[in-house]
Amino acid sequence: MGLDDRVRCCPDGLMTDRRHNVRVLDATIRDGGCCNAWQFSHDFVGRTFDALLASGVDIMEIGYLTSPGVYDTKSVGPWRFCDEDDLARVARPSRMKLAAMVDVGRIRPEDLRPAGDSLISVIRVATYGPDIAEAVDLLHAARELGYETFCNVMAVTECTPQEVDSFLAALHDSRVENVAVVDSFGALYPHQLRYLIRKYKNWLRPEQHVGVHLHNNQQQAFANTIAAIEEGVDFVDGTIFGMGRGAGNCPLELLLMYLDDPRHDVRPILAMLEEYDVLRDELRWGYQAPYAITGWLNRHPREAIARVQTHRGRAVEAFWEQLTKDAELPRNHRPQLHPES
């Protein structure tokens, strides 16, 4: 071996756990929109669409479909509704699919138009475990209308094992094609996420795809995404610069660099980061200790978000006391796995 053949010690050559052809779903406008009530300009969303298309991302989740009357259109932006007129101003038919999320209870199935009449071709139904029957009805309605379907069962870390079994059984029996493990609270460490991915795969039919939607409260979103890819998930979610409520999401730019897939080009995303950096200055997503605390406590981040709005990252010990004083936490108060007797 000549000196020029010498290679470095990092064990990628033999040990890579990256996989190519993992589907990448960008949720910047939909989930990042939780930071600014979906009030992105058409110009900004259009340039984000162009960047995502050029980067080789598979699916752009561009917002929510919401039935009229659920939100005051004065207080939320157009991407909470995704009217076709708005979509047509920013997107065009392309290799990249456009997805919209629907919340169980915030849309009537009859308000969905046929996929053939929409720029949207993917519907993601967001539900909580107990509402799974209603979610399946919505998923079936969407499939009948020609959409590819995803189901995001939120806040799985709040469910009992029996509740998880129950919604997975319902999804197994449904026609839904893709199911995400959703770490709504940023509560999961990689070994826990791996366990849930195996559980989802075990319960679902082999042709149903499992993926992840992860939050960064404990700085685990990207690491958990890597763990999920190692576990063989079929799709992963990211957002540009990690944009998202509170601590945010898995940063798309880190994910694309990691995947190192010839289908991808991270440069169009890097070229957008300047504008997202300006947005972050204004909207202030990203790591703060209150998010770490709610993540660790397996709680919704709403209290942490409110706290950071008023106190930034300050007086954190008082926040800790407030959240833990009534909790009667055992020493190891993290959610426990019940032996599945």
**315 touching a second copy, by CB under 8 A:** yes
Nearest CB to a second copy, comparing residues 156 and 212: 156
CB of 28 to a second copy, least distance (A): 14
CB of 146 to a second copy, least distance (A): 34
CB of 144 to a second copy, least distance (A): 31
CB of 205 to a second copy, least distance (A): 21
* Segment 241 to 260, residues that bind a second copy, using CB under 8 A: 241-242, 251, 253-254, 257-258, 260
The separation between the first and the last C-alpha atoms of the chain, rounded to the nearest angstrom, is 57
Rounded CA separation 147/142 (Å): 5
**304 touching a second copy, by CB under 8 A:** no
Nearest CB to a second copy, comparing residues 75 and 332: 332
**9 touching a second copy, by CB under 8 A:** yes
Residue of 74, 85, 162, 325 interacting with a second copy (CB under 8 A): 162
List CB contacts of 290: < 8 A, sequence separation 6 or more: 303, 304, 307, 308, 313, 316, 319
CB 137 within 8 A of CB 173: no
Rounded CA separation 193/185 (Å): 13
**115 touching a second copy, by CB under 8 A:** no
CB of 132 to a second copy, least distance (A): 14
**156 touching a second copy, by CB under 8 A:** yes
**206 touching a second copy, by CB under 8 A:** no
CB 149 within 8 A of CB 127: no
* Segment 272 to 291, residues that bind a second copy, using CB under 8 A: 273-274, 277, 286-289
* Segment 74 to 103, residues that bind a second copy, using CB under 8 A: none
Q: Where are the beta strands (DSSP E) in the chain?
A: 23-26, 59-64, 97-103, 120-128, 148-154, 178-183, 209-214, 235-238
Binding-site size for a second copy (CB under 8 A) equals 82
Chain centroid, CA 42 distance in Å: 22
Residue of 29, 45, 182, 196 interacting with a second copy (CB under 8 A): 196
**226 touching a second copy, by CB under 8 A:** yes
**309 touching a second copy, by CB under 8 A:** no
**322 touching a second copy, by CB under 8 A:** no
Residue of 2, 6, 93, 326 interacting with a second copy (CB under 8 A): 6
CB 87 within 8 A of CB 48: no
* Segment 43 to 72, residues that bind a second copy, using CB under 8 A: none
CB of 61 to a second copy, least distance (A): 21
Rounded CA separation 245/32 (Å): 7
Rounded CA separation 224/83 (Å): 34
Residue of 296, 299, 304, 305 interacting with a second copy (CB under 8 A): 296
Rounded CA separation 158/187 (Å): 10
CB 228 within 8 A of CB 25: no
List CB contacts of 206: < 8 A, sequence separation 6 or more: none
Rounded CA separation 293/80 (Å): 29
CB 90 within 8 A of CB 82: no
CB of 57 to a second copy, least distance (A): 16
Rounded CA separation 123/115 (Å): 9
Nearest CB to a second copy, comparing residues 55 and 66: 55
**320 touching a second copy, by CB under 8 A:** yes
CB 62 within 8 A of CB 30: yes
Nearest CB to a second copy, comparing residues 118 and 216: 216
